[in-house]
Amino acid sequence: MASKQKESVHVLVVGAGPVGMMCASKLSHAGIKTTVIESDKFIPPIPKALTYTAPVLADLKRLGVLEEVQKISFADERAIWQWRTLGGKVLAEMHWSLLKDHPDPRLVKPYTLQCGQHLLAKVLTEYCRKFPSTEVLFDHALVGLTQDASHVTARVSKSGGEAFDIKADWVIGADGGKSATRKFIGQSLEGFTWDESFVAMNVRFPFPKYGWGAANFLVGGKEWAVAGRSGPLTDPWRVAFGVEVGLTDEEVIKTVAPDRLKRILPGPDSYEIVQCSQYRVHQRQVQQYKVGRVVLAGDSAHLNNPIGGFGLTTGMTDAGCISDALILVIRGEAPEELLQKACDVRHEVFATVSNPGSQKFKAMVQQDPDNICEEDQAFFENMKNDADFQRSALTGVMRLYTPVEGLMVN
């Protein structure tokens, strides 16, 4: 079908995190005029999500930025993920190298990457700035939103300046868990909040000396933990665990961390806490991703606990699917119904895969290591003894992927 794209078509992306910048990168790559607004003056380098698997790597490769992202990541196709007890016993391992000869072309090497999400957002921001038709505006907050059948008008405020309007044909809200976009289209996150806070620390400690994998899930009841690489070999590692609600970061570092790290770290070597942040965790989702000419993606649309890496990977695959659908609609190569279908399918992916999957991972690490349930015991045994079972577990991440081509069938 011949392209019917209008030169004046303009998309506004709210939020310059990795999800918003993935949307903007795809739109820019397609030659669509794009403006990104971000309320922060810069993307803060606080410890948050850091793991990206095959579905995300496929989009990064298509944009031509995968090699650049690999430079700032721990990237090894031989990476090993481990399940351990707090005492150090290895319960099971998952070897990404088992995908080496897998026939699925969507499984892009090195299969998994680990780097801070602020670093990925920075790479994508620089990519977008190569396009004259794309503008990225930091320190610009969304303070109002109205729409009619053909346009959306966003009220934008820059600190120290007067508010002004941006008129767009479409708006993608990727402005996180406290999304202003979500509020302005009348959507709310439905679900529940866990009764603990999650602590994420960047810690310097010689984990490889003790044979730890790139990612480690520590089964320990209330003293569960997760530890993994946060970037290249010299970068600190990320250590995460749960604490009671209401503590300050300083209280966590001074009164909680010494005892918890003593139990988590595998040896007596000295450690250094480089950064610490904490946040509440939820299992929530909006009812609709698309309201008129405004769509939501990532944490704006759904939230889940981060154990297992479902959150950001789901957000990034939202960005890929929704952006690809919107590009086809803008080009006149598909009806608007395709965008609606993309949003509906992404809603279902979270409801049936990401939400229950992240809760399953959380339950797995929070059980008594001396009384592991039969289902998980069988999982660990199969992971250790059955390469095909392990390979199937590795390719399970593709359930988060929604290629827009598949939505156009029928």
List pLDDT tens digits, range 151-198. 999 999 998 788 999 999 999 999 999 999 999 999 999 999 999 999
Peptide bond into 232 cis (omega under 30): no
Query: Do residues 204 and 327 make contact, with C-beta atoms less than 8 angstroms apart?
Result: no
The whole-angstrom separation of Cα 312 and Cα 200 is 15
Bridge partners (DSSP) of residue 279 are 198
303-333 confidence digits (pLDDT tens): 999 999 899 999 999 999 999 999 999 999 9
For residue 357, give every residue at least 6 positions away whose Cβ sits within 8 Å of its Cβ, in sequence order, or none. 308, 310
The whole-angstrom separation of Cα 298 and Cα 21 is 11
Residue 88 reports pLDDT greater than 90: no
What is the end-to-end Cα distance of the chain in Å, rounded? 17
3-state SS, residue 16: coil
Work out the mean pLDDT of the chain and round it to a whole number: 94
- Beta strand pairing status for 80-85 and 90-95? antiparallel
- Domains annotated on the chain, with CATH: 10-77+111-190+286-359 (3.50.50.60)
- Please report which confidence band the pLDDT of residue 409 belongs to, taking 50, 70 and 90 as the band edges: low
Structure confidence at residue 3 (pLDDT): 41
User: Residue 58 corresponds to which tokens in the numbers above?
Assistant: 């496929």
Where is 312: in which H helix or E strand?
helix 310-330
Query: Do residues 126 and 138 make contact, with C-beta atoms less than 8 angstroms apart?
Result: no
Q: Which residue shows structure tokens 């397609």?
A: 30
Structure confidence at residue 75 (pLDDT): 94
Query: Do residues 304 and 358 make contact, with C-beta atoms less than 8 angstroms apart?
Result: yes
Residue 6 reports pLDDT greater than 90: no
Residue 142 reports pLDDT greater than 90: yes
- In this prediction, residues 355-383 reach a mean pLDDT of 96
Please report, rounded to a whole number, the percentage of residues in the chain having pLDDT higher than 70: 98
Query: Do residues 313 and 400 make contact, with C-beta atoms less than 8 angstroms apart?
Result: yes
* HSE-up of residue 378 (Cα within 13 Å, Cβ side): 3
- Beta strand pairing status for 51-53 and 112-114? antiparallel
pTM of the model: 0.94
**C-alpha distance from residue 213 to each of 90, 157, 208, 247, 311 (Å):** 10, 45, 7, 30, 21
- Please report which confidence band the pLDDT of residue 5 belongs to, taking 50, 70 and 90 as the band edges: very low
Residue 300 reports pLDDT greater than 50: yes
Query: Minimal CA–CA distance to 40: which of 166, 136, 119?
Result: 136
- In this prediction, residues 80-97 reach a mean pLDDT of 93
Query: Do residues 86 and 218 make contact, with C-beta atoms less than 8 angstroms apart?
Result: yes
Backbone angles phi, psi at 330, to 5 degrees: -60, -40
- Please report which confidence band the pLDDT of residue 4 belongs to, taking 50, 70 and 90 as the band edges: very low
The whole-angstrom separation of Cα 383 and Cα 53 is 19
Amino acid (one-letter) located at 202: N
Q: Which residue shows structure tokens 């998980």?
A: 376
Structure confidence at residue 410 (pLDDT): 56
Residue 1 reports pLDDT greater than 50: no
Span of 6-10, 127-131, 193-197, 212-216 with lowest mean pLDDT: 6-10
Query: Do residues 215 and 228 make contact, with C-beta atoms less than 8 angstroms apart?
Result: yes
Query: Do residues 45 and 116 make contact, with C-beta atoms less than 8 angstroms apart?
Result: yes
- In this prediction, residues 230-236 reach a mean pLDDT of 91
3-state SS, residue 250: helix
Residue 2 reports pLDDT greater than 60: no
Query: Do residues 55 and 401 make contact, with C-beta atoms less than 8 angstroms apart?
Result: yes
For the purposes of burial, counting CB atoms within 10 Å of the CB of 375, is it exposed (0-12), middle (13-18) or buried (19 or more)? Answer: exposed
